[in-house]
Structure 1
């Protein structure tokens, strides 16, 4: 039997509206270690976005390396596969890969020039192949297409999807050859597992999960049909909601292990256990809640009632309040903070919809940049300066392209 555990999107170092979450990340990694030991996991796959930033803090990196060290010493997990996501610095992940390889930690931060290097054979304790991994990281624009002057966003996206499809096809072809060779030599089929950090067509997101558009001018567009049927399981990262892709049981997002925003507050987080015996079995393992979040929406009476109910839990709760009644409450923040005094509840964010109805005419103190996306800020600048509608569309597209280039420039690379 071969046991693989699929997780992704740790986002170590991510803050929630200014609140650090290192204790929560540490609690998750401790739980993950215990889960690996308890379930006797052979292979751990982390499908990208290990860190939340290309320049992670020392504390976030310490959590990462301490976890890898503990797993390597546990004597349980034989191999760890880590691929980079769009939030990660490929060069940061790749830097220690030659050292970590001695601990059976296999890292692919950057798409390999020789695509065969992304196809990794994992051997068991008898030095026989137990799995073939297509360890494909997040494929950046420059990895899969050549830039040509004058291209439209649609043309760029089409070429990106074609490039990603070609990349997987070439890697799968080489992996299939390996699988066939092992079948002849050992008389058994070796499972073929692929990784990916991408946006699939029809993928579910939440409003404040921090998932970025991966390619210019598009929310994604990779079809499940891209993955060859010869692949036994596809371990995906990027989307924070656990889900199947195109209804296929064997193509899955594990989702993020902790809520990345209040929109995920009621979402059951999980990792995925894949067991290979005569058949493949997939079992979700629920992750406990390490820091309770709550999103409360309504008028003042409803908000008060919900907060009072949370008080009865007698445990720390971070909450977001969305006040959406028509009646204007001038001292909303003061009233809310009085409600949670002498309790374990902390109000992290207050969203007063009355504020948004006065956008650009009057800004209230309760609104901050945390409430706005970059596109919101830029759109307001365009409106403030009376830019015409025709020009706004073009300028917004240019703005998004600039942001894309900034985010995909690995600042740690030479």
Structure 2
């Protein structure tokens, strides 16, 4: 019996509207250590976005180091596998990997390749052991795949012409086809190494077709949502696929074998209303026996008032006065608060009224969201600000391109745009690699 605890999207170093989340992260990490011990876990998978940024603060690196050291102290035989996500610097994680390997901790930043360009199965495949010390599974530690990781176009394989119309459509997409080829190659290597009694487990940090994103939270990756990866990319040979990137825990197409565990704490105000969790997957031989959700207790509550949307100022002030709050909490545990106010006309002292109502309450105000209706008032800057929060960078790029060239950008150009955007977000724009031009194409 193998017990694998699956978690992802910690985003250590994250701030919420400029406020530090370190106490929440530290509370989660201590809780996670307790769960690992209580479950007698054999393996821990952290499926990407360990850090919030490519250059995390020293405190975030310290928290990861402290957690790994304590996990090793409490569970000396625990197999630990960490892959990079789109927020992480693959180079930074790979630089840490040799040192962590001495503690039997496997960290994968970029997709490992040999000098000849072939996949390095020795680094990708991690044998997992049960409590008896025997190898009972092979885990393929595939990190976030950047466009430069993907192989070039290949001829359709024999038998693919019989596939259904949906499969034919995505197999015509070079990005999706590249992801499929990588997982097929990794699966082949895993099958060669595994015995029939060993489970085959894969990891990934990507956006799957038919899944739900958190509003204003996860980035569109691998060329945007038009390149969402279909469930069929993962062959049925995989007993379990542990995914990261989406913050809402969910099964892909109701498949218990392909799962997002979600983030352990809300990373935006829009994530306040659903339960965060980690997953405990149990395997009997080569098969997944059970996948159990372990809800993460919330160290700090996130409140949106009113809960069901904007309300007039008087109603908001009344609700504030009716709150039952724990005044004994340490200030770092006071709830985060968003106030949602509906205005018919300008209220010059709006902030002053809200500050007076909050003065004696153990709450930390993050944001005042103002919705306006009716006539009058010089509020031109507010609609602009609200519109900017919802703007789609790809749409802006596409519209500008169409105005300049009287045509919409093609798939490869959009892919290059997203690659560059991700590189800027990571702070390594100088190392961004654009996909090669197609044969017979332009520069």
TM-score normalized with structure 2 length: 0.79
Q: Higher mean Cα deviation, 157-166 or 168-177?
A: 157-166
**2:305 is the counterpart of 1:290:** no
Task: Report SS of the residue matched to 2:143.
Answer: coil
Say what the alpha-carbon RMSD is for the aligned residues. 3.6
Among residues 197, 203, 206, which one is paired with 2:205 in the alignment? 197
Q: Identify the match of residue 323 of structure 1 among 325, 335, 341.
A: 341
User: Which whole-Å CA distance do the structure 1 matches of 2:255 and 2:68 have between them?
Assistant: 31
How far apart are 1:329 and its partner, in Å?
Answer: 2.9
Cα shift at 1:36? 0.7
The structural deviation recorded for 1:404 is 3.6
Identify the range of structure 1 (282-291 vs 298-307) with the bigger mean alpha-carbon deviation: 298-307
- For residues 41-120 of structure 1, what are the structure 2 equivalents within 5 Å? 41-75=41-75, 78-113=78-113, 114-116=119-121, 117-120=123-126
Q: Aligned runs of 1:375-386 on 2, under 5 Å?
A: 375=392
Query: For structure 1, which segment, 16-25 or 322-331, has the greater mean C-alpha deviation from structure 2 after superposition?
Result: 322-331
Alignment of 1:342-353 (within 5 A): 342-353=360-371
Q: 1:167 to 1:388 in 2, by over 3 A?
A: closer
Following the alignment from structure 2 to structure 1, what is the Cα–Cα distance between the partners of residues 146 and 54? 14
Task: Provide Cα deviations, 1:183-204, integer angstroms capped at 9, x if missing partner.
Answer: 4xxxxx1111111000001111
CA–CA distance in structure 2, aligned partners of residues 312 and 118 of structure 1: 49
- Asked if the contact 2:204–2:242 (Cα under 8 Å) also holds between the matched residues in 1, the reply is yes
Q: Show the counterpart of 1:135.
A: 141
CA distance in structure 2 between the partners assigned to 1:16 and 1:370 by the alignment:
20
> Could you report, residue by residue, the CA deviation over 1:42-76 in whole angstroms, capped at 9, with x for unpaired residues?
10000000001000000000001111111111135
Structure 1 residues 232-247: aligned runs within 5 Å: 232-247=239-254
1:38 aligns with 2:50: no
Superposed displacement of residue 247, structure 1: 1.1
Is residue 254 from structure 1 mapped to residue 261 from structure 2 by the alignment?
A: yes
The change in CA–CA distance for 1:194 and 1:368 in structure 2 (over 3 A counts) is same
Q: 1:81 to 1:220 in 2, by over 3 A?
A: same
Partner of 1:15: 15
Is the 2:325–2:362 contact (alpha carbons within 8 Å) kept by the matching residues of 1? no
Q: Using the alignment, how far apart are the partners of 1:170 and 1:285 within structure 2?
A: 33
Provide Cα deviations, 1:142-163, integer angstroms capped at 9, x if missing partner: 000459xxxxxx9999221111
Cα pair distance change 1:368/1:65, threshold 3 Å: farther
Q: Distance in 1 between matches of 2:375 and 2:87?
A: 33
Question: Whole-Å Cα distance in 1 between the matches of residues 15 and 7 of structure 2?
Answer: 20
Q: Deviations over 1:121-143 (max 9, x none)?
A: 22446553122101100000100
Task: Please report how far the alpha carbon of residue 405 of structure 1 lies from its aligned counterpart in structure 2 after TM superposition.
Answer: 4.2
Question: Which residue number in structure 1 is paired with residue 158 of structure 2?
Answer: none
Determine the structure 2 residue equivalent to 1:306: 319
Contact 1:311/1:344 (8 A) holds in 2: no
Unaligned 5+ runs, structure 2: 114-118, 154-168, 433-443
Q: Which moved more, 1:367-376 or 1:321-330?
A: 367-376
Kept in 2: contact 1:216–1:404 (CA 8 A): no
Question: Which residue of 2 is the match for residue 150 of structure 1?
Answer: none
The 3-state SS of whatever aligns with 1:329 is: coil
Q: Structure 1's 360 and 159: CA in aligned 2 closer, same or farther, altered over 3 A?
A: farther
Cα distance between partner residues in 2 of 1:343 and 1:140: 47
Output the TM-score relative to the length of structure 1.
Answer: 0.84
Q: Indicate the residue corresponding to 2:164 in structure 1.
A: none
State the SS of the aligned residue for 1:257: coil
Deviation at 1:237, TM superposition (A): 0.3
Structure 1, unaligned runs of 5 or more: 148-153, 184-188
* Contact 1:78-1:124 at 8 Å conserved across structures: no
Number of equivalenced pairs: 395
Mapped partners of 2:344, 2:380: distance in 1? 17
Shift of 1:293: 0.4
Partner SS for 2:381: coil
- The aligned counterpart of 2:166 is none
Match of 2:182 in 1: 167
Structure 1 CA distance for aligned equivalents of residues 244 and 374 of structure 2: 34
Q: Is the 8 A contact 2:50 2:88 kept in 1?
A: yes
Distance change in 2, residues 1:217/1:86 (3 Å):
closer
1:323 Cα deviation (Å)?
Answer: 2.1
Q: CA 1:51/1:280 → structure 2, altered by over 3 Å: closer, same or farther?
A: same
What is the deviation of 1:330?
Answer: 3.2
CA contact (8 A) 1:213 1:220 kept: no
Q: Which residue of the partner structure matches residue 276 of structure 1?
A: 283
